[in-house]
Amino acid sequence: MTPLQANQDLKTTWEHTLSALRVSPPTETMHGSHPGVAFGRAAFAKACHAIVVSARDRSEQSTPSEMSAKLGAALATRYDLTELLNIGACTKPLRHAAWTEALRGPRAQALRGGLLQTHAIAREAKACGLKGPWSETKALHPTGVAHASHDERCGSCAWAIRTDGHTIRCRQQTPGAQQPTQLHEGTAACYRHEKRLTASDCLGCGACCRGGFDRVAVEADSPLQKQNQSWIVREKEGAFLPRPGGLCVALAPTSNNTWPCTVYPQRPRSCRDFEVGGDACLLARRRTGTSHD
∠ CA(169), CA(171), CA(172), 5° rounding? Answer: 120
User: What average pLDDT does this structure show over 178-207?
Assistant: 87
59 has a pLDDT exceeding 90: no
Per-residue confidence band for 146, with pLDDT thresholds at 50, 70 and 90: very high
pLDDT attached to residue 246 = 83
Q: How far is CA 137 from the centre of its chain?
A: 20
The residue-averaged pLDDT of 60-86 equals 89
174 — pLDDT class (breaks 50, 70, 90):
low
**Does the pLDDT at position 57 exceed 70?**
no
Residue 176's pLDDT is: 57
Q: What is the pLDDT of residue 245?
A: 81
What pLDDT is attached to residue 236?
81
**161-172 average pLDDT score:** 83
Mean pLDDT score, 220-242: 84
Q: Where are the domains of the chain?
A: 3-127, 145-195, 199-287
| Residue 281: band (very low, low, confident or very high) from pLDDT cuts 50, 70, 90 | very high
**pLDDT higher than threshold 60 for residue 217:** yes
Most confident of 23-32, 58-67, 244-253: 244-253
Mean pLDDT of 168-196: 80
Average pLDDT over residues 248-256: 89
Q: How confident is the model at residue 260 (pLDDT cuts 50, 70, 90)?
A: very high
Check whether 173 has a pLDDT greater than 80.
no
60 pLDDT more than 70 = no
Q: What is the pLDDT of residue 48?
A: 94
Q: What's the confidence (pLDDT) of residue 202? A: 92
Confidence of residue 293 (pLDDT cuts 50, 70, 90): confident
